[in-house]
Amino acid sequence: MNIVILIGQLSSAPRHVELPSGAPRCSLELSCPVADGRTLGVPISWDRVAPAGWDPGTRLAVAGVVRRRFFRAGGITQSRTEVEAVAVVEVTARRPERRALAQVIAALDADAWDAARHAA
């Protein structure tokens, strides 16, 4: 099964686009710490509009699936690997990591997961 759960902080401001279908798409860049002390940049794609106030440094919990997209640019086929978010929750003093994780995990109900798995 393809499941990803991340906690990290935004390394840049969210970027919003409208797809040709009219659906919103938000691109997030999450900086996630790993056990050896490094941080990894993880691109996140989300089919929502990020709330106002999410700036670089905002801590987020994300649940989703890993997806590899192919596209043509400059006449060359290229690919990008990203996490397609099913749920994104801000980590705050009132919603610490453990509670934020519980919320994104709860969002992985059968319908949302089924749709994400079939889209991958």
Confidence (pTM): 0.84
Check if the beta carbon of residue 45 is closer than 8 Å to that of residue 65: no
Two tokens, residue 78: 């290229």
Domain 4-119 has CATH 2.40.50.140: yes
Whole-angstrom Cα distance, residue 75 to residue 79?
Answer: 13
Strand ranges (E), 11-109:
15-18, 24-33, 39-46, 59-73, 76-90
Whole-angstrom Cα distance, residue 30 to residue 40?
Answer: 8
What separation in angstroms does the CA of 22 have from each of 13, 57, 76?
A: 22, 29, 27
Residue 113's pLDDT is what?
Answer: 58
List, for residues 39-89, the tens digit of each pLDDT value.
999 999 999 999 999 999 999 999 999 999 888 888 999 998 999 999 999
